[in-house]
Amino acid sequence: MPQLEIVDLKANYGAQTVLERINLSVEKGEIVSLIGASGSGKSTLLRVLMGLLTPLAGNVRINGQTIDYKDRAQLGRIRSQMAIVFQQYNLFQNMTVLDNVTVAPIKVKGRPRKEVEEYAIALLQKVGMGAKLKAYPDELSGGQQQRVAIARALALQPDILLLDEVTAALDPELVTEVLDTVRLLAADGMTMFIVSHEMSFVREVSTKVVFMDGGHVIEAGDPHQIFDQPQQARTREFVGKILRH
Amino acid sequence: MWSQIAEELPRFFGYHNLIFFAKALGSTFALSVIGCVVGFSAGFVLATLRMSKRASLMPLRLMTTVFVELFRRIPFLVTLMLVFFIFQGLQADLSMFSVALVSVCLIATAFIAEIVRSGLESVHQNQWDAAATLNFSYWQTLQMVIIPQAWKIILPPAFGFFVLFIKDTALASQIGVIELAFAGKAMSNKGFSATLVYGTVLILYFMLSYPLSRFGKYLETKLAPTRNR
Amino acid sequence: MNIDFAPVLDRLPYLISGAWLSLQIAFLAFAMGMLIGLFGASVRSYGPRWAQAMVGGYVVFFTNTPQLIQIFFLFFALPDAGILLSPLQAVLIGMTLNAGAYLTEIQRAGFESVRKPELEAAETLGFSRFQTIRLVILPHIVRVLFPPLSNQYILMTLGTSMAAVFGVEELTGRTYNINSETFRSIEVFSVAAVLYIAITLIATLSLAFVGKRFFRAKMRWF
């Protein structure tokens, strides 16, 4: 059974349709990358999955169970099964690195502090931020903040990790450290949904690449197919443009 | 005129008058402080209510919005009179000070609710988003993320309002509350020259307001945001 | 407690013409206050040290003392020096001087908000001094000042209410009159409150419209 199934998903921003008939299936351990131009709906899809935008029609199933995004209790369940890392890290400015990672498990899930802190410290060390536990977000570089954001997302022990253009806001020299962290997670077998512009990275790490345009899924397949032998004209056009440099 | 003033000075600054002025000053200060403390507490509650999105709280939210918009658009004097006459109509036997206190609290609540709301709204939406994805409830988000970041933006204008408010309390003299403005009228009725009396009252208000306004400016520079985001 | 709005509503035209006087007082005081403010802000930003100190003293004094007492002084104390003012005159002068102080500060903030990069851009594009003022500085200042000035104007409209204390026949003054005639206190003050709300709402919305449309200023709904 696929871990995540998206069936005929449709979403609007006010009067504008931003996602139309999205169909995707993700098995456990798969790394699915969404590529496409700005405004194609990639980030929107992640936001809908996390319940930040309520879908108009269609279904999302996690481990076979259909999710009703309008039900608060179910929303809570989704958010413990899926976690997201944003482009702008969105760390809580008023909390230290350690607090940012531990606040949700302790305050929202009610787990004991000691256990949560131990796990958080291990996670932060894994992403290379073990020395900065007491630092505040505005004392850190973009790459450092993003790695903390990743640790924060992992602290809830999600089944699926969503990464929304996590390197797009970073200076070039900081991109590598974040991508290395993502590679680490991939090697660990974490199911991931990645939205990214870093094409060589996408190609290297993904098990499936999905090309989106104008709110639709145009083509989905393994990296070799999408990048080297795109079937659809629009895919070919996009890939042609981005691989030119 | 100046010789008359010079002549009156010793009598004017006589023991009983000084006590009278001191009490009046105390009333002015009490009205302002209590008004603003109540205003801050109630205003805070109203502001957080207004920002919630829960459908069940909609009627309360509407009432809050109406309350805030109303009391910010009615002159202090009119509010004072309305409260006075309503209490009179209800045959409640309240002291003038209490009537003034109620009016002051209502007005301060309305204005401070706006200041608090503005401060809360200034916290970037992405903080709300991050908290939502970690499944924080509305109140948890407010308490742990938003308010700790917003209070620095709220405090300077709230304090500024307090300083402004001290001057507004002068109108309470019109229903007979023995505060500073009333003290001026009383002394003038006793026969002292108006220049001496109102000049002194002006200086007393100044001495109350100016140090606080300087402190307010200091607060503003100290709490100014060091970096964005 | 019996409530009867009829006697008050009968006298509505009387109240409304009182409201009109309130608006006129606010407008005059604001206009004259703006002139003082313009002068004061210019001195504070560009004038000699001693003049800056004098304007500073004026501003500090008038912004830290209540408008009511300022008018009391003008009305009751000036006669000692031989200057007799009518209630309306005292109110107008008092409100003008008070407004002038606040408007000096507001306009000064506006003057100082002009950004150096824009001036440098204008210079490198070859603008003359006059062109820079007309095309860069002035539009920017007007846009920045429109919201706080609108706010101040609304506050002043509410501030005219204290003229009633001196017997001026503006809205609150006439409310007092109707009160002593009919004793319908709650009713008449409620109606006065509604009128003030209506006036300020109309003013706020109109100013917000003008500000957004013509000056692209960041207007709030008050």
ipTM topping 0.95? no
Helix (H, G, I), strand (E, B) or coil at A163: strand
**B223 at interface of A, judged by CB pairs closer than 8 A:** no
Least confident of A63-67, C47-51, C152-156, C198-202: A63-67
Cβ contacts (< 8 Å) between B148 and chain A: which residues?
94
Beta sheet of A160-164, edge-to-edge order: A82-85, A160-164, A191-195, A31-35, A208-213, A216-221
**C183 in a structural domain:** yes
The confidence band for C47, taking pLDDT boundaries of 50, 70 and 90, is: confident
The confidence band for B184, taking pLDDT boundaries of 50, 70 and 90, is: very high
Cα gap A204→A214, rounded to integer Å: 26
- In this prediction, residue A123 carries a pLDDT of 92
Cα gap C149→C203, rounded to integer Å: 12
Tell me the CATH number at C176. 1.10.3720.10
Residue A2: phi, psi to the nearest 5? -65, 150
Cβ contacts (< 8 Å) between C190 and chain B: which residues?
82
C45 DSSP β-pair partners: none
Annotate B55-88 with three-state secondary structure.
HHHHHHHHHHHHHHHHHCCCCHHHHHHHHHHHHH
Kind plus residue range of the DSSP H or E element containing A128: none
Interface mutation vs chain A, best among B135, B140, B142, B143, most A CBs within 10 Å: B135
- In this prediction, residue B119 carries a pLDDT of 92
**C220 in a structural domain:** no
Taking alpha carbons only, the member of B160, B170, B166 closest to residue B216 is B160
Interface mutation vs chain B, best among A47, A74, A85, A90, most B CBs within 10 Å: A90
Which member of C64, C186, C197 has the closest CB to residue B74? C197
Q: How many Cα atoms are found within 13 Å in the side-chain-facing hemisphere of C21? A: 21
Residue A78, pLDDT above cutoff 80: yes
Residue A233, pLDDT above cutoff 90: no
C21: Cα separation from own chain's centroid: 14
Q: Provide the 10 A C-beta neighbour count for residue A121.
A: 17
Q: Are A146 and A182 in contact (CB under 8 A)?
A: no
**C162 at interface of B, judged by CB pairs closer than 8 A:** yes
Which member of B129, B135, B226 has the closest CB to residue A79? B135
Kind plus residue range of the DSSP H or E element containing C119: helix C116-124
Cβ contacts (< 8 Å) between C73 and chain B: which residues?
194-195, 198-199, 202
A220 DSSP β-pair partners: A210
Taking CB atoms and an 8 Å cut-off, how many pairs form between chains B and C? Answer: 112
How many Å lie between the alpha carbon of B194 and the closest alpha carbon of chain C?
Answer: 5
Which member of B133, B148, B226 has the closest CB to residue A84? B133
* Contact: A92, B144; criterion CB under 8 Å: yes
Query: Which has more confidence, B226 or A25?
Result: A25
Q: Provide the 10 A C-beta neighbour count for residue B68.
A: 21
Which CATH architecture is the domain B2-222 placed in? Orthogonal Bundle (1.10)
Residue B228, pLDDT above cutoff 50: no
Residue B229, pLDDT above cutoff 60: no
Which member of A80, A92, A107 has the closest CB to residue B130? A92
Per-residue b or e along C128-140, where b marks 16 or more CB atoms closer than 10 Å to that residue's CB: eeeebeeebbeee
What six digits make up the tokens of A204?
Answer: 């290297």
Cβ contacts (< 8 Å) between B198 and chain C: which residues?
69, 72-73, 76-77
Helix (H, G, I), strand (E, B) or coil at A218: strand
> Cβ contacts of residue A197 below 8 Å, gap of 6+?
A35, A165, A167, A168
A191 DSSP β-pair partners: A160
**B191 at interface of C, judged by CB pairs closer than 8 A:** no
**C43 in a structural domain:** yes
Q: Are C46 and C31 in contact (CB under 8 A)?
A: no
Least confident of B57-61, B171-175, C97-101: B57-61
- In this prediction, residue A37 carries a pLDDT of 87
**B149 at interface of A, judged by CB pairs closer than 8 A:** yes
Cβ contacts (< 8 Å) between C69 and chain B: which residues?
170, 181, 184, 198, 201-202, 205
**Chains with ≥3 CB–CB distances under 8 Å to C:** B
Q: If you count them, how many residues does chain C have? A: 222
A214's torsion region: left (phi>0), alpha (psi -120 to 50) or beta? left
**A28-59 tens-digit pLDDT:** 989 999 998 888 888 899 989 988 888 888 88
How many Å lie between the alpha carbon of B162 and the closest alpha carbon of chain A?
Answer: 27
* Contact: B132, A80; criterion CB under 8 Å: no
Residue C73 is classified by DSSP as I
Which member of B134, B149, B229 has the closest CB to residue A108? B134
Q: Which residue has the tokens 């539009």?
A: C139
Q: How many Cα atoms are found within 13 Å in the side-chain-facing hemisphere of C29? A: 31
Domain that holds residue C134: 6-215
- In this prediction, residue C221 carries a pLDDT of 58
**C198 in a structural domain:** yes
- In this prediction, residue C8 carries a pLDDT of 87
Residue A244, pLDDT above cutoff 80: no
Which member of C64, C70, C80 has the closest CB to residue B209? C64
Structural domain boundaries in chain B: 2-222
Cα gap A143→A186, rounded to integer Å: 19
**A146-192 tens-digit pLDDT:** 999 999 999 988 889 999 998 888 888 888 888 888 888 888 888 99
Kind plus residue range of the DSSP H or E element containing A94: none
- In this prediction, residue A245 carries a pLDDT of 52
Residue B227, pLDDT above cutoff 60: no
Least confident of A62-76, B186-200, C35-49, C56-70: A62-76
Percent of chain B residues topping a pLDDT of 90: 69
Which member of A76, A138, A152 has the closest CB to residue B135? A76
Q: Are A225 and A76 in contact (CB under 8 A)?
A: no
**Rounded average pLDDT over C119-137:** 76
**Rounded average pLDDT over B13-40:** 92
**A197-217 tens-digit pLDDT:** 888 889 888 999 999 988 889
B residues 12-31 lying closer than 8 A (beta carbon) to C:
none
How many Å lie between the alpha carbon of A66 and the closest alpha carbon of chain B?
Answer: 19
Domain count, chain C: 1
Q: What angle do CA A63, B132, A54 make, to 5 degrees?
A: 60
Helix (H, G, I), strand (E, B) or coil at B121: helix
**Rounded average pLDDT over B114-120:** 93
What six digits make up the tokens of C78?
Answer: 């000036």
Kind plus residue range of the DSSP H or E element containing A23: strand A16-26
* Closest chain A residue to B130, measured at CA: A90
Instruction: Please state whether at least 3 CB pairs lie below 8 Å between chains A and C.
Output: no
**A80-134 tens-digit pLDDT:** 888 999 888 888 888 899 999 998 888 888 889 999 999 999 999 999 899 999 9
Least confident of B13-17, B83-87, B106-110, C162-166: B13-17
Taking alpha carbons only, the member of B153, B42, B145, B161 closest to residue B102 is B42
Which member of C65, C79, C200 has the closest CB to residue B205? C65
**B202 at interface of C, judged by CB pairs closer than 8 A:** yes
**C158-201 tens-digit pLDDT:** 999 999 999 999 999 999 999 999 888 999 999 999 999 999 99
* Contact: B129, A104; criterion CB under 8 Å: no
* Contact: C193, B72; criterion CB under 8 Å: no
Q: How many Cα atoms are found within 13 Å in the side-chain-facing hemisphere of A1? A: 7
Taking alpha carbons only, the member of C165, C115, C105, C163 closest to residue C136 is C115
Cβ contacts (< 8 Å) between A95 and chain B: which residues?
144-145
**B143 at interface of A, judged by CB pairs closer than 8 A:** no
**B151 at interface of C, judged by CB pairs closer than 8 A:** no
Which member of B127, B144, B227 has the closest CB to residue A103? B144
**B92-113 tens-digit pLDDT:** 888 999 999 999 999 999 999 9
Q: If you count them, how many residues does chain B have? A: 229
**C1 in a structural domain:** no
* Contact: B206, C64; criterion CB under 8 Å: yes
**C115 in a structural domain:** yes
